Structure 1
């Protein structure tokens, strides 16, 4: 039987008081997701587009054709998600419009559902929405607002750890 090998910390590890392997493991779990920001503009993305987080502002429009995306925040904008597209989560605010057609939303967001509508509308067709932490679909009425989120859902699967869908205030959920 051989003697155990003792590892010596290198200068950087000694200075940081962290073994080099810990630094390497931390670097290995980092992802290469970037962010896209549209302000009053339109963009169409396909399967060849790198996975990005997106923020849409001031009547922007993002159309996804078989694309992948991280978190999408739409403020007073339009999001069109077409067949084969995969998104981590969607939050629509300030009268935004969301169209999911043959799309998949699979979320680990612990703050809000896979799809959250704050005073915004969504038409969801032939799609799958899953929250691995909270609720799949949330429709809310914001403070001091007269309207709430409205979702029209057709032939789709919506599920979450704490429930499939929830609405509050003047929000509406219509399932067909």
Structure 2
């Protein structure tokens, strides 16, 4: 069993300390996830509604994202994220294949699948409910998806593809 700890680096006056920006969830396998905030022009502050970290996977920086503001919920989501990271290469390959099959107008050749595997890179692994995981991909050549958009593939608890979308 993997040990998980929860702490808070700093708190704000309104939210509870465990759910405020700067709150942190630490996993002994994946490391530290932080709920960050961003300064806005004019002095305001935008609090992220998720915990995240950046990690090197497949030779590139990938965002690992726990889509919740609550530290207890983030802790509950960690095992699913761990499993997705461990199977990341296989999940990415299946995600790319799902994107190609979903959006191709004609039968797909092995050459097209191979080229898509090279063109679509893993950008984000997101867990939002403890069962499903979403892989967000980047079109590295800009030939498959319009600029500002990216494919996202949702896998269920058994790592079966259940949805393929284009997001903005």
TM-score scaled to structure 1, two decimals? Answer: 0.25
Question: Which structure's relative contact order is higher, taking Cα pairs within 8 Å and 6+ residues apart?
Answer: 2
Larger C-alpha radius of gyration, 1 or 2?
1
